[in-house]
Amino acid sequence: MHVLLEAPASALDLCKDGSKVVVAGRSVFKIFSVEEEFVERDNLRVGKNINLNFSCNDVVWSPVDDQVIATAATNGAVVVWNLNKAGRGKQKQVFNDHRRTVNKVNFHPTEAGLLISGSQDGTMKLFDMRIDKPGETFESKTESVRDVQFNPLNYFQFCAVSENGKVQLWDTRRADRCEKQWPAHNNHVFACDWHPEQRNLLATAGRDKTIKVWDTTSRRGDKMHGLEHTVNTIGPVGRVKWRPQRADYLGSSALCIDFAVNVWDIKRPYVPFAAFLQHRDVTTDIAWGSDPHTLISTSKDGSLYQHVFREAARPGDKANPVGLGFGINGEVIHAHRQFPKNNQNHGIVSKVRGHGHPNNDGFKKNFTPTELFRMCHR
């Protein structure tokens, strides 16, 4: 199911039980209930005082209180919204601590009053919404913080990723320096996401067209910094989200070239495990539903989609399986699928090449599995 918005959204998020979705952008800020179709429940971009506080780069729903939402504004403000507030104006608090636009906001997973932000000014701010004072500043000493995420399984830890390609781990009790940092990507890092079940696994995504999975506690090799998996994609990756209840799967979307929402098996990263192809322009944000079988996305084409996994495309089904083997005497055998022609049954087409081999001229034959095995083990 899908709905067309009056303007493209930059970000979306689901409430804790997945029954409602909020979408936000420069010219749109709405809440929909997720039923058999999207039903508009609230338009937050209303009132007499529409200003840049309503122009959003990011939006996040509190995991503790489903009546509280926070946005990252293009004018550098962090805005907290109270959906229970009477009247049209739902703004609860506005923090103007950042000097430049705010890229990301994130609520603490269990502490209702804590909110963190990452900005183009290179800083992160930790706000306690229960007290009226400026947020605590964490200096990344980088060009720009593009994403910031609390670790859902480690109360005091959060991660920040920057345009200089580095990943930083911080303890909320130590604002003077980060616990750990390492060069994760060859260019801008745009997104990060903690694994929902394994507290030390972190996924990052960047302009270098890769998604990387890190064991943040690993001490194996100074150069690799605990790199566990790498997924190579066809475009710069702007969003990455772990799939719930599926330990080895994550979803991603690109900033250009590829309009699809791809789902990857990190242990078989060569081709997407599944893909959702409904968008006609770049996908700007994704979020998994309350179960692993639904995913919601929004795009520059102005659409909001709920995808059902059973309807996903399976790129692997269209891949041409290829086999390669080497014999002890230097022979090389190459096998690939031969598709049907003139209603004939398809089979395996093989070529054997090697010095002194009777088929070194590239002779083709449909070999049986036994013959293939013997050729590779002569």
What's the number of domains the chain is made of? 2
Of 276, 299, 316, the residue that ends a domain is: 316
Domain boundary among 300, 316, 332: 316
Question: Which residues neighbour 271 within 8 Å (Cβ) at sequence distance 6 or greater?
Answer: 315, 316, 319
pLDDT value of position 287: 98
What end-to-end distance do the CA atoms of the chain give, in Å?
Answer: 57
Give me the domain span that covers residue 153: 2-316
The 10s digit of each residue's pLDDT in 41-65 is: 999 998 767 888 999 999 999 999 9
Structural contact between residues 202 and 159, judged by C-beta atoms closer than 8 angstroms: yes
The CATH number of whichever domain residue 25 belongs to comes to 2.130.10.10
Number of Cβ within 10 Å of residue 214's Cβ equals: 23
Q: Is the dihedral of CA 254, 80, 106, 98 positive or negative?
A: positive
Residue where a domain stops, chosen among 296, 316, 336:
316
Residue 368, both tokens: 């049986």
pLDDT in tens, 85-138: 877 789 999 999 999 999 999 999 999 899 999 999 999 999 999 988 889 999
Q: How high is the pLDDT of residue 332?
A: 76
Quote the mean pLDDT of the chain.
89
- Per-residue pLDDT, averaged over 270-280, amounts to 96
Nearest to 125 by CA among 152, 93, 153, 165: 93
Averaged pLDDT, 73-82: 96
- Whether 125 and 137 have beta carbons less than 8 Å apart is answered as yes
The reply to whether 215 and 334 lie within a common domain is: no
Tokens of 103: 């890229």
Q: How confident is the model at residue 361 (pLDDT cuts 50, 70, 90)?
A: very low
